[in-house]
């Protein structure tokens, strides 16, 4: 008995099957990576859209709430805030804090400092921006720059819209929301990419054709390779063949 027979040599058909399985796995991995990338792009694009075009539906302010701090790191020397706010809108959540020094906003000596943290995204908040500013009479706002990552990017004037003061394009990710939104949109992209081929395979199987190439399989028994593409013929319940 030859050594190849004794050792159970791999038949050409089996090698072809192994190559086909590896090819299918590589294509599935590539499709998954593309779907994840598409999900991430859609997630960031939606967050930016909310930042550019969203508006505040309702807000709430609290004065003199004790024991509360700034919503983000405040510059050195800033005392505790005395005015807190919460914002909410379609694709927008926000919280802020302010401290006013002076009798009122029309007092020439009036000075106010504030921090606002805004979060954007759908359906979960995935990107955020922090705005730190000071205000002096008469309506002189000064931004305190802490970096692109925290402060975001100011959009061109042509893209500015009412409904949310001092719009910024966020650059700081909220990792939990970013992962949730990306997974959701990647799953939708995966289902969308699989749906046409699943419908095509179902139609071919019902018509008695090869689910891969569409060859007419009339007269062939289950388990027989397709004469056109070598895919194994499946029965009406789809129980035969590794490449279905």
Q: Check: CB of residue 86 under 8 Å from CB of residue 54.
A: no
Q: Are residues 73 and 154 in the same domain?
A: yes
CB 53 within 8 A of CB 79: no
Residue 16 phi/psi, 5° resolution? -65, -40
Residues 93 and 172 in one domain: yes
Based on the fold, state whether residues 151 and 218 are members of the same structural domain. no
In a domain, 219, yes or no: yes
Tokens 């699943």: give the residue.
198
Convert the pLDDT of each residue in 120-175 to its tens digit: 999 999 999 999 888 776 666 777 888 888 889 988 887 777 667 788 999 999 99
Q: Is residue 16 part of a domain?
A: no
Helical residues (DSSP H) of 68-174, grouped into ranges: 148-151
| Residue 66, in any domain of the structure | yes
- The yes-or-no verdict on residue 238 having pLDDT over 60 is no
From 177, 193, 225, the end of a domain falls on 177
* Count: domains in the chain: 2
Those residues whose C-beta lies under 8 Å from the C-beta of residue 167, and which sit 6 or more positions away, are 51, 52, 154, 155, 159, 160, 161
Q: Are residues 92 and 141 in the same domain?
A: yes
pLDDT at 14: 61
- Flag whether 110 is in a domain: yes
* Contact assessment for residue 181 and residue 127, using Cβ atoms and an 8 Å cutoff: no
| Structural domain that includes position 226 | 207-244
Q: Is residue 214 part of a domain?
A: yes
Residues 64 and 168 in one domain: yes
Same domain, 109 and 213: no
Alpha-carbon gap, residue 23 to 10, rounded angstroms: 18
The Cα diameter of the chain in Å comes to 106
Statement to judge: residues 157 and 213 lie in one domain: no
User: For tokens 């040599």, what's the residue?
Assistant: 9
The interaxial angle of helices 175-206 and 12-53, nearest 10 deg, is 130
The answer to whether residues 213 and 128 belong to one domain is: no
190 falls within a domain:
no
Distance, in Å, from the CA atom of 243 to the CA atom of 149, rounded to the nearest integer, reads: 48
Does residue 234 lie in a domain region? Answer: yes
Domain boundary pick from 157, 177, 197: 177
Residues 44-93: pLDDT tens digits?
A: 999 999 999 888 775 555 555 555 678 888 888 788 888 888 888 889 99
Answer with the one of 177, 198, 224 that is the final residue of a domain: 177
The pTM score is 0.72
Do 168 and 131 meet the contact criterion of CB atoms below 8 Å apart?
Answer: yes
């Amino acid at each position: 008995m030859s050594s190849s027979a004794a050792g159970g040599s791999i038949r050409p058909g089996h090698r072809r099957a192994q190559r086909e399985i590896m090819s299918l796995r590589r294509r599935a991995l590539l499709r998954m990576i593309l779907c994840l990338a598409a999900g991430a792009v859609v997630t960031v694009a939606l967050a930016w859209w909310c930042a550019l075009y969203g508006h505040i539906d309702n807000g709430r302010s609290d004065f003199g709430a004790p024991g509360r701090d700034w919503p983000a790191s405040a510059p050195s020397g800033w005392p505790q805030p005395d005015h807190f706010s919460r914002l909410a809108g379609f694709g927008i959540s926000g919280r802020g804090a302010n401290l006013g020094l002076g009798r009122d906003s029309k007092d020439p000596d009036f000075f106010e400092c504030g921090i606002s943290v805004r979060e954007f995204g759908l359906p979960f908040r995935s990107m955020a921006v922090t705005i730190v500013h000071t205000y002096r009479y008469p309506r002189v706002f000064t931004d305190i720059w802490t970096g692109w990552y925290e402060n975001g990017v100011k959009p061109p004037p042509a893209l500015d819209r009412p409904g949310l003061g001092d719009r910024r394009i966020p650059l700081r990710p909220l990792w939990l929301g970013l992962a949730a939104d990306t997974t959701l949109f990647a799953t939708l992209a995966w289902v969308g990419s699989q749906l046409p081929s699943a419908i095509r395979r179902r139609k071919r199987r019902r018509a008695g054709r090869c689910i891969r190439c569409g060859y007419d399989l009339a007269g062939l028994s289950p388990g027989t390779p397709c004469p056109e593409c070598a895919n194994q013929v499946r029965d009406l319940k789809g129980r035969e063949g590794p490449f279905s």
